[in-house]
A and B are shown apart, each in its own frame.
Chain A
Amino acid sequence: MTRFAIDATQAAGELADFSRRLMAGARSLAELEAPGEGCSARDDVHHEDRVVLYRYRPLAASAGLPPLLICYALVNRPYMMDLQPDRSLIRGLLARGLDVYLIDWGYPEAADRFLELDDYVNRYLAGCIDHIRRTLDVPAVNLLGVCQGGTLALCHTALHPDGVRNLVTMVTPVDFHTPENLLSKWVRGVDVDRMVEVLGNIPGELLNATFLSLMPLRLSSQKYAGIADIADDPAALASFLRMEKWIFDSPDQAGTAFAQFIRWFFQENRLVLGGLVIGGRRVELRQIDCPMLNIHASQDHLVPPSATLPLRGLIGSHDYTSFEFDGGHIGIYVSAKAQVLLPRTIAEWLENR
């Protein structure tokens, strides 16, 4: 018994049709304008070195909540949070009356090679929070950390609990040594200090190639074969192009900070096992006593649920909420269901605190 039931004549026709549609899709993509970065109106309100803090213009009456600061990862660009009007977590939050700020870490250059995690956690992130507190005259902000940005947000909150009223983490790795964590297995044998000594800043292309090689067929041939399905749909092609731009828009990583992150988190799992010291101060998750919402994606191949769920037992706060999104690491930002579900979940959780 075989399931193989492809008729040769039909297959030849299918192949010809597929090629025609793929070419049409490729032609249309070539004619599309280069996508911009983000879609919502915003103002840059604070700078430090290459780091820019943006404040988004309101889309609805204020909900009266403390400002929400989004701390994105260093490894990709933050406009994933505001990709296009119908795929924007930020617009969803603005529509619910939240006052949204976003940190853009910028593109590190050769002169930034010696930036440390201390600079990111205790200087840049702290500087943005201080700016918001000072200019709005509020005692604390709500902090939303995304992916690696969530890990930085956890470190910051543990070190400076006074400035954070509520902490939300999204697809944030905490325990880097769980069996499902493929990325962690791959980097554990890497001599990252030597790598940085020789390469300086770590090229974004190198990281991108690594991320894509975690699921090599799905993220290459299958994805591009899908162009044939949307060849006649300009809006879908435009969305595809925005995603492509985002995926390959990978900033280089400041060498020293990168080495510290790989060694301390991926290789030595210090956030869980202890011994993490940033800027001369010990980071202890038990110091986090504010309310926490931890959002993870059930099919996340980059940050598997097992990597983020242990957070509950590590923080000092008794007000801990876990929310599972049915999707993957990218779908949690851009899928249709995420657009409704996540802003509502975050806004309602904040309103109740």
Chain B
Amino acid sequence: MSNSDEFRHVERDVPFASHADAESAAIHRIREFADDYLDITRELCKLVEAHASGAPGAASQAFGKGLDQLRNALKEKFERLYVPVFGSLRAQQQATEGLMATSVRWQRAVTRVSELLSTVAADAVEKLIAALAGPDASGPPVTSLRQLHELWVDCGEQAFSVAAHCEDFAAAQAELLAAMVEMRFEQRRQIEEWARALNLPTRGEIDAIHRRLHELGRVLREEQKR
């Protein structure tokens, strides 16, 4: 840890002496985060440029690893942006962190599915090349773009079908869905907190009413049958 890092930690842990101090500390922290954010963005640009100019395959793995590192760095900086608190604010902070965590999970799931789809695309291209000029290429000459498109669709669907039937693909799809559901859950929880504070009805309350209505309807129908 560098001297400046130590200084930042000490500074963050000192309770605020006054409103003005608190404000300046908050501004300082935001500036600090903005600097870190810019650094990470620059690193991301470098990573994307390197990936765009490199060969597929191994470069793709390095790209994924690089993205993970940057994502983790961003998460860490973001967490440091928030002051550790206590009391009711702590619960709010935890809720925000929970939402962030689900957002990160969602991004990871999207990245995983994108990686699998990239593999499918690469396989489809290989199939197309083989169908056009491979040793086993057979069939009439492809003389129009439309015929080429049809062949591309055939190759793409073949490649997709092979991948889509694998357990990896199903697991990635399931994780994508689960991540979306959890992110939605956290979003809704925060919105419902606000709604409760304003004495507005929430989805959860309406669901409870619908459940009761459904149960009452069932009881009523059973009574009518007797």
A60 within 8 A of B: no
Q: Which 6 A-B pairs have the closest CB atoms?
A: A189-B174, A114-B214, A5-B141, A2-B133, A217-B156, A198-B185
Across-interface contacts of B161 in A (CB, < 8 A)? 182
Contact A5 B142 (CB under 8 A): yes
Contact A195 B177 (CB under 8 A): yes
Can you name the residue of chain B whose Cβ is closest to the Cβ of A2?
Answer: B133
Query: Smallest Cβ distance from A226 to chain B, in angstroms?
Result: 10
CA distance A215 to B165 in the complex (A): 12
Contact B133 A114 (CB under 8 A): no
Across-interface contacts of A221 in B (CB, < 8 A)? 149, 153
Task: Identify which of B6-14, B80-88, B202-210 touches chain A.
Answer: B202-210
Q: Digitize B49-60: 1 where CB-to-A-CB distance is under 8 Å, 0 elsewhere.
A: 000000000000
CA distance A15 to B141 in the complex (A): 19
Across-interface contacts of B167 in A (CB, < 8 A)? 185
Contact A14 B144 (CB under 8 A): yes
Q: List 5 A-B contacts (CB under 8 A).
A: A3-B137, A7-B143, A115-B214, A195-B181, A222-B153
B-facing residues in A8-54 (Cβ within 8 Å): 10-11, 14-15, 18
B160 within 8 A of A: yes
Contact B137 A1 (CB under 8 A): yes
Contact A114 B211 (CB under 8 A): yes
Given contacts A6-B143, A18-B146, A221-B153, A113 and B177 within 8 Å (CB-CB): no
Given contacts A3-B132, A217-B153, A186 and B170 within 8 Å (CB-CB): yes
Query: Smallest Cβ distance from B182 to chain A, in angstroms?
Result: 8
B140 within 8 A of A: yes
Query: Smallest Cβ distance from B208 to chain A, in angstroms?
Result: 11
Of the listed residues A6, A179, A188, A214, the one surrounded by the most CB atoms of chain B closer than 10 A to its CB is A6
Contact A4 B142 (CB under 8 A): yes
Given contacts A14-B144, A200-B203, A190 and B178 within 8 Å (CB-CB): yes
A191 within 8 A of B: yes
CA distance A191 to B181 in the complex (A): 10
Across-interface contacts of A185 in B (CB, < 8 A)? 165, 167, 170
Across-interface contacts of A195 in B (CB, < 8 A)? 177, 181
Can you name the residue of chain B whose Cβ is closest to the Cβ of A214?
Answer: B164
- A2 CB contact (under 8 Å) in B132, B146, B153, B214: B132
Across-interface contacts of B165 in A (CB, < 8 A)? 179, 182, 185
Can you name the residue of chain A whose Cβ is closest to the Cβ of B212?
Answer: A114
B42 within 8 A of A: no
Across-interface contacts of B191 in A (CB, < 8 A)? none
B36 within 8 A of A: no
Contact B137 A6 (CB under 8 A): no
Contact A3 B145 (CB under 8 A): no
A274 within 8 A of B: no
CA distance A215 to B120 in the complex (A): 13
B193 within 8 A of A: no
Across-interface contacts of B142 in A (CB, < 8 A)? 3-6
Can you name the residue of chain A whose Cβ is closest to the Cβ of B221?
Answer: A123
Query: Smallest Cβ distance from B15 to chain A, in angstroms?
Result: 39
Contact A182 B141 (CB under 8 A): no
Can you name the residue of chain B whose Cβ is closest to the Cβ of A116?
Answer: B214
B-facing residues in A94-153 (Cβ within 8 Å): 110-111, 113-115, 123
Can you name the residue of chain A whose Cβ is closest to the Cβ of B152?
Answer: A217
Contact B132 A6 (CB under 8 A): no
CA distance A44 to B203 in the complex (A): 34
Given contacts A3-B132, A186-B173, A113 and B153 within 8 Å (CB-CB): no
Across-interface contacts of A189 in B (CB, < 8 A)? 170-171, 173-174
Across-interface contacts of A61 in B (CB, < 8 A)? none
Can you name the residue of chain A whose Cβ is closest to the Cβ of B166?
Answer: A185
Contact B146 A1 (CB under 8 A): no
Q: Digitize B130-142: 1 where CB-to-A-CB distance is under 8 Å, 0 elsewhere.
A: 0111000101111
B27 within 8 A of A: no
